[in-house]
Structure 1
Amino acid sequence: MASPLILGPMLRHVDETSATIWVETEDAGRVRVRAGGRAWEARTFAVHDHHYALVELDGLEPGAVLPYEVDVDGERAWPEPDSEYPASVVATWESGRRLRLAYGSCRTSVPHDLAGNLTHGVDAMRAFALALAEGSAERPDLLMFLGDQVYADITSQEMQEFIRDKRDIDEEPGEELKDYEEYAHLYRLAWSDPANRWLLSTVPSAMIFDDHDVRDDWNASQDWKRRMEATSWWHGRIVAGLGSYWVYQHLGNLTAEERAGDELWQRIARHDGDDEPDLTDEVDAFADRSDREPMSVRWSYTRDFDDIRLVVVDSRAARRLDPDARALLDPDELDWFDAQLRGGFRHVLIATSLPFLLPMGLHHVEAWDEAISQGAWGRRAARAGEVLRQAVDLEHWAAWQDTFQKVARMIRELAGGERGSAPQNVLFLAGDVHYSYLAEVDRDDVPGSRVLQAVCSPIRNPLPRVMRWFSVVMSYGAATPVGRLAARSAKVPDAPFRWRTVKGPWFANNLAMLVDAPDELGLSWHTGVVDGGDEAHPRLEPVAALRVPADRDGEVTST
């Protein structure tokens, strides 16, 4: 008999006394979660003929580890019969626990066989899932996805076969996604592998988008957006992309209090009767308005784990593209972010899909390109700068210098104790660039806290070898002195502090782990390795393990 579940259960937001479990079901119905002798229930809601439920588990005990089951209309749907994986559990947060946080970005959805592993490498997330299932890895408190959970613009053979069955793939947008139905299938490909599905059922997850969730270079510039809006398909893509993001990713990021203030969730909560509420029109209208009026919605959010603050920042949809007032974060978003950067925490973690501290060479090149694209060297150079920006993705924080400078000053104030007692560490977590590294701000330039950038990318989408060479040259080679000179020639202001890459880069598919300890912060990167041709059961292997001592004068060391 076919399962009534299409996707899930996915364990999403969890705190000391509550948890949320998200599912997609085959049909309308009622979803019940049973754990610890209790049961919680929710009716499904519909979007574009797909059915979803978010079940809220409340009244839980701090530090509980509760195996759970899921029923749909009274029929047991999870765990599946004869499952080879351990029971899925809800593990609530407990004050005094040391945080374990796994994170990464950029994960393509191709089969986990020899062909898929040859073209895209072993899925580091899946290797971690298998290690956790067999007991050779510890369960993290949170799995943080920092963008490109799905690739709407670079599709797999399986996705293209689905597209061909429903429309002419030779017409725009071709092999790229066009509508909500195609997004729903793409998420199904991304999250239905049994090992990864089990992982997502037993480890809480939090998410934020990056460009490929919608399209490469999403909101790179006003010129980019005008070019997209001139196509026949862009409006449908952005409405489907943002609408499906709310359903599949954003909704589970929210606390119960935050959901209560969400306009779409209010529509579900207010629905009276046993029939299923259909939110298709509301989701489409919300997504359309979110694109037209970015300040009408906030995708960013904050989580506190005792004395550790995690700030998750939207660095894509909140952009202001007006050439006369370019900003990576619009004024409302910047004010919100400013308000979250407060002292009194032992660690402040800032999660954003794009690295704030790029390798210095690339930072200078991006800052220079922005300046000439804005006219620093005249109109002809401005056109060339815009072409270069879109051709080689020069649109990270460094390419939005006004926002970069403002945020850098905020970080100086936080680290210097001007916003309350300084944290031990201010640590940026990011992805996107398809290599991993650790950078550190010069401690002579910033008093108080140690300021770091820890990048983990990709989970599964490695750079071709020629692109690895190009990335090293652009980031660490001749681009560093040349880029610095070019940036100064375009009158780009110096950054408020200096930084350098202290470890890396690593180009393997990776999943990173952050582990808090009394006298240090542990950072490690892990990849999947196939032994003896057993493509289905990769082994999890460390790529790098680093120790960040609590003593600010101590050096970051390998362990």
Structure 2
Amino acid sequence: MFKPTVGPIVGHTTSDHARIFLRGSQYTNNPVYAGLRYRLQGDSKWSEGRFIQLHAHRDMSDVIVLTGLQADSLYQYQAGWLTLESPTPSLEALQEQSVQWPEDVYCLRTLPRENGALQAYIVGSCRYLRITAGTPSTPERGDRTFAGIQRVVDRADPPIRGVLMTGDQVYLDDLNIVAPDRTYKDILFKYRIVFSQPHIGKLMSSVPTYMILDDHEIEDNWPANKQFKDEILYANAMSAYRLYQVSHSPAHELTSDGALNRSLKHYWYELSHGDIEWFVTDSRTQRNLSSQDRRILDIEQERALLAWLDNSTARVKFIVTSVMFYPDSKRDDGDAWQAFPQQRLRLLEYIRQRKIRNVIFVSGDVHGSMTSRLGHSEDADFEVHTIVSSPFYNSELLPYASASDFIFDNAMARTGNGEYRYELTSPVIGQDNFAHLRVAAQSVQVTFYDGDARPLHTVEIPLR
């Protein structure tokens, strides 16, 4: 059995199940299988192998679902792939034959069943990697940030429950003017390179990783820059996105027998960790740019988000949106929420009028990190917060954000009942970084770290 060519990647994990993505390869016409076995840490006996056939139309990748796990437990697992000599094997024969597993042993932790006062997460976005003529340009520079994240994970208390990557995990348009990646083959190659770097690979093999796309998974400022010839680009980009980012996410439901439901209704999804809940929006692929009904979220998604806000009993409600909810930029390029003011105001009014507390928007995109508080001039009981974390690694050709890029001296929105105004509650951090969120009983502590895991700034967001 061979080591995975990409992965393993631990995806959505609960108190009793975990989803693990891995990719193999193919060098004969005989069937290829991915396999995995696991055990509780401290046990000497491995489980029977779990196997799944890999197919070329899925880029020789798939997701193995482990069910019936014990809550709040540390598991070890081994994973790999193999090609069988027989062209018509059975899974029973595969189970019975002696498999030489790869030596690497990985670990994953399931969630506790009880609501805990403490939960912790890593949040970040925008990992730039240029690939020219099939060769990545200094990949170790961007991968260094994930080594830094691993150091924070290793010493974190409470344990990190998930790494949330909020967009631009790959840059398909890194050479958009000269040599854009448009073919399915080139796009898949880029995903393989990005997700198989050593430090991000180690991180994702042990910590549940949750992803949502932004524009560079397709092309810059999609779909505003869309042209007729881009239909094929979009189809290729989204096919690769479904394989490498969506396949192990909560967007796919489980069937009654614990298998992965292959059907996919949408890219947005909900995530629950006890009394901490997340709504991860797709703020990229379902935009409506018409003047009659301009929206960043489609109708179905907006209704689902409002229903979630209404019905959720979570102590803290995180809303992930790949582009910034606020503050607004002085240079409005039509891409963030400020270009969709009516829908943003509808959402804020809904939160304010129903007195929904402890709503925090999480985003990336702008190559700068910060926290900010939004209040209302006539409603002292209303407030929401935003956490922006970007980038994991920036291109030398792109600037970092600074406080002077944003509007702070005007009301963000006005209604007949008053004004929405925001204020920074942290510096704007203009360098490669990521955020460590520690959710306690009375506050959310946000610590921004540089790529070497040195703390840059800490903010306490009070909970009510």
TM-score by length of 2: 0.83
Flag structure 2 segments of 5+ consecutive residues without an equivalent. 40-45, 83-97, 132-136
Structure 1 position 71, deviation (Å): 3.9
Match for residue 348 of structure 2?
408
Give, as a single letter, the amino acid of the residue that structure 2 aligns with 1:544: H
Question: What are the residue-to-residue correspondences of 1:338-417 with 2, within 5 Å?
Answer: 338-342=306-310, 343-359=312-328, 362=330, 366=332, 393-414=333-354, 416=355
Specify whether residues 462 and 109 from structure 1 end up closer, same or farther in structure 2 by C-alpha distance, changes over 3 A only: closer
Distance 1:492 1:79 in 2: 63
State the SS of the aligned residue for 1:10: strand
Distance 1:174 1:432 in 2: 23
> Contact 1:48/1:180 (CA < 8 Å) preserved in 2?
no
Match for residue 330 of structure 1?
298
Distance 2:319 2:58 in 1: 37
Specify whether residues 431 and 154 from structure 1 end up closer, same or farther in structure 2 by C-alpha distance, changes over 3 A only: same
Question: What are the residue-to-residue correspondences of 1:287-298 with 2, within 5 Å?
Answer: 297-298=265-266
Distance 1:407 1:462 in 2: 34
Match for residue 547 of structure 1?
460
Structure 1 position 322, deviation (Å): 2.4
1:127-162 Cα offsets, whole Å, 9 max, x none, are 2225546x588741100000000000014xxxxxxx
Question: What are the residue-to-residue correspondences of 1:306-317 with 2, within 5 Å?
Answer: 306-317=274-285
Match of 2:34 among 31, 39, 63: 31
> Contact 1:126/1:195 (CA < 8 Å) preserved in 2?
yes
State the SS of the aligned residue for 1:143: strand
Match for residue 148 of structure 1?
168
Match for residue 14 of structure 2?
15
Distance 1:504 1:494 in 2: 31
> Contact 2:23/2:62 (CA < 8 Å) preserved in 1?
yes
> Contact 1:42/1:53 (CA < 8 Å) preserved in 2?
no
Structure 1 position 324, deviation (Å): 2.1
Structure 1 position 405, deviation (Å): 1.4
Structure 1 position 521, deviation (Å): 1.5
State the SS of the aligned residue for 1:540: coil
Distance 1:31 1:310 in 2: 31
Give, as a single letter, the amino acid of the residue that structure 2 aligns with 1:515: R
Match of 1:53 among 55, 58, 62: 62
> Contact 1:68/1:88 (CA < 8 Å) preserved in 2?
yes
Give, as a single letter, the amino acid of the residue that structure 2 aligns with 1:408: L
Specify whether residues 357 and 303 from structure 1 end up closer, same or farther in structure 2 by C-alpha distance, changes over 3 A only: same
2:432 maps to 1:509: yes
1:486-538 Cα offsets, whole Å, 9 max, x none, are x99xx99998521111212001111111111123211111112xxxxxxxxxx
State the SS of the aligned residue for 2:306: helix
Specify whether residues 512 and 76 from structure 1 end up closer, same or farther in structure 2 by C-alpha distance, changes over 3 A only: farther
Distance 2:255 2:378 in 1: 43
Specify whether residues 136 and 499 from structure 1 end up closer, same or farther in structure 2 by C-alpha distance, changes over 3 A only: closer
Match for residue 438 of structure 1?
371
Question: What are the residue-to-residue correspondences of 1:209-358 with 2, within 5 Å?
Answer: 209-220=213-224, 224-225=225-226, 228-229=227-228, 231=229, 234-254=230-250, 258-260=253-255, 297-342=265-310, 343-358=312-327
1:443-466 Cα offsets, whole Å, 9 max, x none, are 65555464100100001116768x
Distance 2:130 2:159 in 1: 25
1:99-128 Cα offsets, whole Å, 9 max, x none, are 1111111001269xxx8489x767422322
State the SS of the aligned residue for 2:360: strand
1:40-93 Cα offsets, whole Å, 9 max, x none, are 52323424472112111000111010111114246556554xxxxxx4212100
Match for residue 185 of structure 2?
181
State the SS of the aligned residue for 1:39: coil
Distance 2:461 2:371 in 1: 11
Specify whether residues 266 and 540 from structure 1 end up closer, same or farther in structure 2 by C-alpha distance, changes over 3 A only: closer
Structure 1 position 309, deviation (Å): 1.3
Question: What are the residue-to-residue correspondences of 1:74-223 with 2, within 5 Å?
Answer: 75-76=99-100, 78-80=102-104, 87-94=105-112, 95-97=114-116, 98-109=118-129, 116=138, 123-130=144-151, 132=153, 135=155, 139-155=159-175, 174-220=178-224
Specify whether residues 38 and 122 from structure 1 end up closer, same or farther in structure 2 by C-alpha distance, changes over 3 A only: closer
Specify whether residues 266 and 196 from structure 1 end up closer, same or farther in structure 2 by C-alpha distance, changes over 3 A only: closer
Distance 1:545 1:460 in 2: 20
Distance 1:144 1:429 in 2: 10
Distance 1:341 1:492 in 2: 22
Distance 1:495 1:240 in 2: 46
> Contact 1:183/1:241 (CA < 8 Å) preserved in 2?
yes
Bigger fraction of residues in strand: 2
Specify whether residues 267 and 67 from structure 1 end up closer, same or farther in structure 2 by C-alpha distance, changes over 3 A only: closer
2:449 maps to 1:453: no
2:360 maps to 1:427: yes
Specify whether residues 255 and 35 from structure 1 end up closer, same or farther in structure 2 by C-alpha distance, changes over 3 A only: farther
State the SS of the aligned residue for 1:505: coil
- Cα RMSD (Å): 3.2
Structure 1 position 235, deviation (Å): 2.2
Distance 2:218 2:337 in 1: 19
Specify whether residues 468 and 209 from structure 1 end up closer, same or farther in structure 2 by C-alpha distance, changes over 3 A only: closer
Give, as a single letter, the amino acid of the residue that structure 2 aligns with 1:242: M
Flag structure 1 segments of 5+ consecutive residues without an equivalent. 81-86, 156-171, 269-285, 287-296, 367-392, 417-421, 529-538, 553-559
Match for residue 92 of structure 2?
none
State the SS of the aligned residue for 2:427: strand
Specify whether residues 211 and 76 from structure 1 end up closer, same or farther in structure 2 by C-alpha distance, changes over 3 A only: farther
State the SS of the aligned residue for 2:352: helix
TM-score by length of 1: 0.70
Match for residue 474 of structure 1?
405
State the SS of the aligned residue for 2:146: helix
Distance 1:344 1:137 in 2: 25
Distance 2:439 2:102 in 1: 33
Match for residue 500 of structure 1?
423
State the SS of the aligned residue for 1:435: coil
Bigger fraction of residues in helix: 1
Task: Provide runs of 4+ in structure 1 moved above 6 Å.
Answer: 491-495
Structure 1 position 340, deviation (Å): 1.2
